[in-house]
Amino acid sequence: MKTKLNRPPADIGAAEFFETWLPGEFARVLATGALTATPPDNKVAVELSGDDGGAWTLVMAGGQLSVEQGGAGDAAITLSGSTQDFRALMGGEQGEHQLLPDSDEGVDLNLLVVDKATQEIIDGVSGKINVQITGFNGRDWSLGASFKGASEPEATISIPADVYKQITEGTLAAPQAYFSGQIQMTGDATFAMQLVMALMQRQQ
């Protein structure tokens, strides 16, 4: 499911994004007939800290997306981070580094809506993964993903911003960056590798 969402305004508030913009954008995509398969029923919770932060649960049921305020203990995935870092992911921000390539005209729907292939991976995973991009526009960007509400095992993947840029631009392969020591894994590295390998296979 490679369908693209339009990018939201860079300064959009978190509540407006989840409660108004995202359901409307998903409905627009659905009306175009661009979805080649109905997403499986599931829940994705998002917990954001900082100004305008809060918690929301994205509920996919019968191919329709609705958003509820508050987290959900039975969510397949719980994403956690700051509102600043989440905006940088979805809408981009001013600065040298971007999380999505400049040529990318939209946001992959799979960032927030789980498709069947990803759901199959999630079903076999329990634990928490943290992703950090160090030196990202003067700070460390980070996002956590907890599967099935579990906090253990826990692992952190740390990538320098310039290395991340090379990977997204296609000038450096992620395995090469890892085996050359440019990508660091701490905590339960076995768990991290299993998850990364599963996601890489899903992209093939």
Question: Tokens at residue 57, please?
Answer: 């649960």
Span 67-86, mean pLDDT? 91
One-letter identity of residue 156? T
Choose from 1-15, 32-46, 126-140, 167-181 the range with maximum mean pLDDT. Answer: 126-140
DSSP 137: T
Residues 6+ apart with CB under 8 A from 98: 88, 92
Q: How are beta strands 4-5 and 107-108 bridged, if at all?
A: antiparallel
Model confidence pLDDT, tens digit, residues 124-171: 888 999 999 999 999 999 999 999 888 899 999 999 999 999 988 889
Report how far residue 139's alpha carbon sits from residue 170's, in angstroms, rounded to the nearest whole number.
Answer: 24
Q: Is pLDDT at 1 greater than 70 in this prediction?
A: no
* pLDDT in the model for residue 46: 96
Contact by Cβ (8 Å): 157, 193: no
CA 154-68-53 angle, 5° bins: 60
Q: Token digits for 135?
A: 């030196």
Q: Residue 158: its pLDDT value, please?
A: 95
Cβ-contact 1, 119 below 8 angstroms: no
Band (103; pLDDT cuts 50, 70, 90): very low
Average pLDDT over residues 15-27: 93
pTM of the model: 0.87
Question: What integer is the mean pLDDT of 90-102?
Answer: 81
